Amino acid sequence: MKRILVGIKRVVDYNVRVRPRPDGNGVATEGAKMSINPFDEIALEEALRIKERGEADEVVVASIGVADAQAQLRTALAMGADRAVLVQTDAHVQPLDAARIFLALAQREQPFIVMMGKQAIDDDANQTGQMLAALWDRPQATFASKVELSGDVARVTREVDAGLETLEIDLPAVVTVDLRLNEPRYVKLPDIMKAKKKPLETLAPADLGVTPRPRVKALRFEAPPVRQKGVVVKDVAELVEQLKQRGLV
């Protein structure tokens, strides 16, 4: 069976203004709307389109996180994924451990392609896909803005600083996606109802042979400083003087 494995992450919705907790120990999520990471949602949409073209037989979506992440997995199932896997843990899973968990899932599910967003909007790490490819010893294509499959080869157009770059990689492979790849579909109520009957498996990291442990510790969370009001200058001479006063020139 030709299977696509898609990784998604539960994050604070991008429309919500994120605030640190009063004690500086983390971000306040109580009562905040949670959603699928936007980049991961694009990865899922692309996987569904590949399946709809007849180039895949099954789309499996997986997430790592707390029990409440089942809500985001059900949304993914409503979009069209066939089944879901939640690796449930209350620990903060950093990129290397996330990659190890996805490696174990890839070895179990045997997908011909693993798709995920290029980064999550909460930590902006942009590491998990690359680490997974290294651990899996398979090719990778990151920042994909177009994906074309032909047999055992994927042709991926990716965004780089100088413009666009096109790669051909052998499958199985890891592909991380960018914003311009597609626009995710709208989930309809009948699909939400159908998703409740689709299988959702729950595992623990230990079931996959992984024990998450933090390698980087955040000491304190603070809101960015309020942007100061700009200064209007009359001419270049005054601009230079203002820069000198601020020690910028």
Q: Tell me how far apart the alpha carbons of residues 55 and 52 are, in angstroms, rounded to a whole number.
A: 7
* 102, 60 contact by CB (below 8 A): no
Alpha-carbon torsion (150, 120, 217, 65), positive or negative = negative
Domain extent, residue 158, equals 3-245
Count of domains observed in the chain: 1
Whether the pLDDT of residue 144 is over 90: the answer is: yes
Q: pTM score, two decimals? A: 0.86
Indicate which CATH number applies to the domain containing 39.
Answer: 3.40.50.620
- Reference 62, options 48, 82, 46, 42; nearest CA is 82
- Over residues 173-204, the pLDDT tens digits come to 999 999 999 999 999 899 999 999 999 999 99
